A = this chain, B = another copy of it.
């Protein structure tokens, strides 16, 4: 039986999962592929990792570059993470004519264009299903299943850590800080949670999806990013009273020759299926001009779900090799010649609904001043609520708006903040709600 040799770089959580699957599911994979996926080499700089799993003799080594240079290896799986070393190894592997599978979204978001170009020029595959949404086949759906659709928008919960924290704050009524430390204690958040809670990880994933959806180069740096650290319990409570939940969403919309692309805490109505995605689960809604809305939902992270996606990529490549196929599906959905640079809109140009919370002096005329300023900036108020208790003479005023332009909101907020009857900075949360009329 034909053997396809796999070299695994990095034996951390995901790498270990991949190794386990290739060993433990060998029989199942043979029954579907008719060939052996042979884990020929595993490299990790930490040689203690060799003891984590029962590898055959001589499989485990410490020098990843030796794996990349091994002429018998067909497919390199990079699960090291980070950018520098992973990038060098992947480029070397591609130059050595090897196919590459990676789950490294940070690397793809920041260096994906040159890496993909390198794979293309070397006539090899680079596959990255596991980089977005864990086990969910979001990459395959965009590249293959939705091939005849123009993607109109995507809205996703793509970071399990943030979603877990929001679920904890909402359901258990605990502070952000406490929720974060609980997440860290249970291994859901990392010791340094910056990439997750600042929304950066979500934006990495969005950058990849946008390229696949619209046929544009990967452009991470222009995505607007706002993390979840500033969301406090009063806003979660008010959201609940309006029938909303707050989620960290990745949002992109096709705006003709521009793309809307943003990551921020967002209020969504409770009848939106995304609002029921709790804990560490991920979900993404894709709107195609032919299919309408389609949603994928599942484990967006974790050892085995992510490893499952990596192995599906390995199998895809193995099947290409077994049938002597090259470049069967374009790496970024569109043929390389058809990939353009579609600009991402500045956040100031987006139009959406808003939730505002002001803390104001409880006296006559305040509301009229605020609404006057909003009106001057073309911001039309849908509803106003004075909610919660008076504290030291101050009361919270909450407003929901009709569609408004972000730039107008910014200008209005500067003026409102300057009012001496308004204390603190206003809280602004964007709303995605198809139910409200514009």
Contacts and interface: CB of A to CB of B under 8 A. Distances in A.
B148 A312 contact: yes
Interface string A134-175: 111100110011111110000000000000000000000000
B328 A323 contact: yes
- Each complex incorporates copies of this chain amounting to 2
Interface core residue of A148, A271, A297 (most chain B CB under 10 Å): A148
B323 A305 contact: no
A31 B145 contact: no
A291 B296 contact: no
A315 B32 contact: no
A276 B271 CA distance: 8
B292 A299 contact: yes
B325 A135 contact: no
A267 interface: no
A438 to B, nearest CB: 24
Interface in A316-336: 316, 319-320, 322-330, 333-335
A307 B135 CA distance: 26
A291 B299 contact: yes
Interface in A368-407: none
A80 to B, nearest CB: 21
Nearest to A136: B294
A148 B28 contact: yes
Contacts of A134: 291
A233 interface: no
Given A21-B148, A328-B325, A298 B308 contact: no
Given A147-B29, A147-B311, A329 B324 contact: no
A154 to B, nearest CB: 13
Given A297-B295, A325-B328, A32 B308 contact: no
B335 A32 contact: yes
Interface in A249-293: 271, 273, 276, 288, 290-293
Contacts of A271: 276
Contacts of A324: 324-325
Nearest to A294: B298
Contacts of A125: none
21 contacts: A21-B290, A28-B150, A32-B335, A135-B145, A135-B291, A137-B140, A140-B144, A148-B312, A149-B308, A273-B297, A288-B308, A291-B298, A293-B298, A294-B296, A294-B299, A319-B328, A319-B329, A323-B323, A323-B327, A323-B328, A324-B325
